[in-house]
């Protein structure tokens, strides 16, 4: 078979295998599916079996995948959670993480490389945590809302920083362009949220089970328009995708719960059933395992990065915990906040392309992020379960 044919067969096969493996292991321990998508991508890539090579096809689909991932993160933003004490403390915690992470990064890669490391160490994988919170029934609890606020800030803050740091313009020009994008985005969000759209909801419902599929088509239009605006202004496309998710959520927010649930199911199917797995599998294919194994210290540095994520991002994240929160729940918030991977992948890939980071440093950071996704949600869930058990009065 040709390389293209092999890619067309193997990548969908791995996308199917990843949840099967996760389900098989769930009787002992629950891991997010993206862990297996990354590991399987590494296995078939040049680093191990060399069955699939990086290609323009995979790269293009991967860009769509990361855009859909951050679109979905935008739809999960809880505006109420970002206001008041929790929101302010979530932003304060992120600023502390970013400052400390950048200071530590200066030891490894002075200059803009240090800022990119700071972005990576201050990120939170909201898109990874949302399925974990949902499956545990925590999404609408005070704990879940707190983690949502921490995760939203831990994605939105780094996206803004990436747009400024990795811009081709000067810092001042990049900030002015970012403000221009923000004005357009705020106007779009304001227009989407200022009134209800019953005609839109009726049309969405009438095409829900027809070939029209208006909701899906409109989502792709909103996503494409804001990503195109990002590209035109040379702002990171993740910011456009994230904003598109917020706009769509507001547009559909007044629809009936049944309609919202059906539309959400269709969009999740497109995102997590097709495009997002390709992004993570492609990331695995592109992962420079040889750089990670080239020196004994590099492999040993991976768990060190995971510990840094816990200290740099996890500890400040605990500031957002509600008043009166118990010690274990506060720790669980911190551990969840320290779970990072998608932003780490995006930031380090851009850093390597721009020449600010070495492939080895990028591989170590991604490896540390992968280990955080593997361990931290499991630890946080165990802490919450232990906390809940302690709250049950003895018979």
- Top-ranked range on mean pLDDT: pick from 65-79, 286-300, 363-377, 381-395: 363-377
What contacts 238, CB < 8 A, 6 or more positions away? 66, 67, 70, 159, 162, 346
| pTM (2 d.p.) | 0.84
Q: Is 187 exposed, middle or buried (0-12, 13-18, 19+ CB in 10 A)?
A: exposed
Given a cut of 60, is residue 22 above it in pLDDT? yes
* Angle subtended at Cα 165 by Cα 244 and Cα 284, rounded to the nearest 5 degrees: 70
pLDDT digits (tens, 9 = 90+) for 104-155: 999 988 888 999 999 999 999 887 787 777 777 777 788 888 898 899 899 8
Mean pLDDT computed over every residue of the chain: 86
CB 338 within 8 A of CB 155: no
- Residue whose C-alpha is closest to residue 276's, from 65, 78, 74: 65
The stretch 174-182 carries a mean pLDDT of 81
Backbone angles phi, psi at 111, to 5 degrees: 90, -145
Per-residue pLDDT, 395 = 37
pLDDT digits (tens, 9 = 90+) for 336-346: 999 998 899 88
Given a cut of 60, is residue 359 above it in pLDDT? yes
Q: Percent of the chain having pLDDT more than 70? A: 94
CB 322 within 8 A of CB 350: no
pLDDT digits (tens, 9 = 90+) for 29-60: 777 788 899 899 999 999 899 999 888 889 88
Q: Which residue has the higher pLDDT, 387 or 215?
A: 215
Entry field: residues in the chain: 395
Q: Which residue has the higher pLDDT, 171 or 14?
A: 14
CB 168 within 8 A of CB 234: yes
Give residue 70's pLDDT band: very low, low, confident or very high (50, 70, 90).
confident
Q: Is 112 exposed, middle or buried (0-12, 13-18, 19+ CB in 10 A)?
A: middle
Q: Which residue has the higher pLDDT, 182 or 306?
A: 306
pLDDT digits (tens, 9 = 90+) for 315-325: 999 999 887 78
The stretch 183-196 carries a mean pLDDT of 78
Cα–Cα dist 90/147, whole Å: 9
Q: Which residue has the higher pLDDT, 184 or 101?
A: 101
CB 158 within 8 A of CB 119: yes
Coil, strand or helix at 83:
coil
Burial code (b: 16+ CB inside 10 Å, e: under 16) for 219-249 equals bbebbeebbebbeebebbbbbbbbbbbbbbb
Query: HSE-up of 176 (CA within 13 Å, CB side)?
Result: 5
- How distant is the alpha carbon of residue 337 from its chain centre? 12
**Taking the CB of residue 321, how many other CB atoms lie within 10 A of it?**
25
CB 270 within 8 A of CB 338: no
Given a cut of 50, is residue 62 above it in pLDDT? yes
Q: Which fold has domain 3-387?
A: Na+/H+ antiporter like fold (1.20.1530)
């Amino acid at each position: 078979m040709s390389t293209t044919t092999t890619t067309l067969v193997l990548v969908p096969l791995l996308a199917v295998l990843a949840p099967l493996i996760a389900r098989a292991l769930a009787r002992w321990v629950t891991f997010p599916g993206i862990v297996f998508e990354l590991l399987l991508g590494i296995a078939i890539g040049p680093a191990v079996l060399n069955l699939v090579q990086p290609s323009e096809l995979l790269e293009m689909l991967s860009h769509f995948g990361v855009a859909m991932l951050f679109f979905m993160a935008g739809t999960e933003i809880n505006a109420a959670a970002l206001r008041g004490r929790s929101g302010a403390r979530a932003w304060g915690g992120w600023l502390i993480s970013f400052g400390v992470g950048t200071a530590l990064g200066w030891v490894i890669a002075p200059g803009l490389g240090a800022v990119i490391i700071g972005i990576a160490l201050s990120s939170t994988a909201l898109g990874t945590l949302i399925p974990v919170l949902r499956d545990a029934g925590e999404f609408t609890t005070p704990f879940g809302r707190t983690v949502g606020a921490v995760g939203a800030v831990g994605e939105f803050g780094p996206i803004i920083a990436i747009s400024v740091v990795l811009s081709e313009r000067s810092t001042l020009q990049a900030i002015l362009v970012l403000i221009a994008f923000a004005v357009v985005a705020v106007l779009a969000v304001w227009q989407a949220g200022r009134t209800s759209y019953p005609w839109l909801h009726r049309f969405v419902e009438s095409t829900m089970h027809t070939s029209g599929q208006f909701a899906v088509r409109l989502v792709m239009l909103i996503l494409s328009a804001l990503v195109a605006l990002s590209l035109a202004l040379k702002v990171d496309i993740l910011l456009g995708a994230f904003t598109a998710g917020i706009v769509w959520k507001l547009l559909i927010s007044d629809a009936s719960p049944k309609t919202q649930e059906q539309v959400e199911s269709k969009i999740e199917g497109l995102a997590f059933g097709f495009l997002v797995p390709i992004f993570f599998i492609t990331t695995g294919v592109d992962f420079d395992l040889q750089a990670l194994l080239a020196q004994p210290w590099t492999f040993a540095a991976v768990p060190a990065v995971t510990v840094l994520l816990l200290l740099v991002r996890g500890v400040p994240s605990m500031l957002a915990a509600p008043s009166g929160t118990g010690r274990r729940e506060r720790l669980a918030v911190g551990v969840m906040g320290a779970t990072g991977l998608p932003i780490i992948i995006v930031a380090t890939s851009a850093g390597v392309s721009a020449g600010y980071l070495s492939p080895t440093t990028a591989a170590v950071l991604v490896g540390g992020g992968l280990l955080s996704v593997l361990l931290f949600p499991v630890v946080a869930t165990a802490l919450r379960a232990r906390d809940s058990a302690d709250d049950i009065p003895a018979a």
